[in-house]
Amino acid sequence: MLEEGFPEQAIRESDCSVLNYTFDWSVLWREPYGELLLTGIFTTIHLSLLAWVLALVVGILVGVARVLPNHLTRLVGFSYVQLFRNIPLLLQLFIWYFVLPLLLPRPAQSWLYRNVPDLPYFMSVVGLGLYTASRVAEQVRAGLASCPSGLYEAASASGLSTFHVYRYVILPYALRIIIPPFTAEFLTCFKNSALAMTIGVMETTGASYQIDSLTYHGLETTTAASLVYIAITLSVVLFMSWVERRVWLHGMIGRRS
């Protein structure tokens, strides 16, 4: 963008400006950086998967709790979702790792630091999992709300207990409906795992920053990290569309895509 009165010489120079930077892609596999990046990628994958399993279990329980005909469970579910959904994940991770352990008595703290191997990793799984659970819970609630009330009535009328109504009739129906938004949450879970870097977990982003600061080839490492996330999330998309086809029931979710 040229402004009026911009010195002519400077314009000429900016026209023939060159990038004063030499690309060196070998930092991605060269000793010892390759191992660092690879470990980072595996950390991203198992950290996110563990967090996602935790999110599914807690999220489905909380989501169901929010629609049960019981004031107490509804209140608990509501509070859970509002608490975990409304604090930035970055702060939640800081709180899990730096603040919550302080509430324990001093000996318990030292026990925790001494005996839990890789505490930052553990706290990231818990923090990311419980945060994602609040979002999963909302999707589950939406799925449950979309079940026609006739379904609840018919199931109850056939003599099933509340637990069995949910276990055998409502949840199998609702969970299928919410597979597409679930996919989105699953992807977000992978991308949010990058924040674990802030409490010292060397996952993909952390590893790419580390290589950057050791070699100053940040363009290469950030490009590589971006491609890794794209590859992971595309695999998740393919996996989830397979799941969607696998659990498809005739006449349920529109046409088979």
Q: Which residues bind another protein (CB under 8 A)?
A: 7, 10, 13-14, 16-22, 24, 32, 98, 101-102, 109-110, 113-114, 119-120, 197-202, 206, 209-210, 212-219, 223, 226, 230, 234, 237, 241, 257
Distance CA 8, CA 161 (A): 83
The sign of the CA dihedral 197, 201, 205, 207 is: positive
Q: Give the helix/strand (H/E) hosting 1.
A: none
Distance CA 78, CA 65 (A): 9
Considering the complex, state which of residue 57 and residue 99 has its C-beta at the smaller distance from another protein. 99
Distance CA 38, CA 45 (A): 11
Considering the complex, state which of residue 82 and residue 226 has its C-beta at the smaller distance from another protein. 226
**Smallest separation, CB 175 to another protein (Å):** 22
**Smallest separation, CB 17 to another protein (Å):** 4
Instruction: Give every CB contact of residue 162 below 8 A, 6+ residues apart in sequence.
Output: 68, 69, 156
**Smallest separation, CB 227 to another protein (Å):** 8
Considering the complex, state which of residue 75 and residue 247 has its C-beta at the smaller distance from another protein. 247
**Smallest separation, CB 90 to another protein (Å):** 11
Q: What is the dihedral of CA 139, 143, 149, 153, to 10 degrees?
A: -100
Residue 172, preceding peptide bond in cis (omega within 30° of 0):
no
Distance CA 29, CA 46 (A): 21
Distance CA 107, CA 96 (A): 18
Considering the complex, state which of residue 132 and residue 205 has its C-beta at the smaller distance from another protein. 205
Considering the complex, state which of residue 65 and residue 207 has its C-beta at the smaller distance from another protein. 207
Distance CA 237, CA 242 (A): 9
Considering the complex, state which of residue 162 and residue 210 has its C-beta at the smaller distance from another protein. 210
**Smallest separation, CB 129 to another protein (Å):** 21
**Smallest separation, CB 102 to another protein (Å):** 7
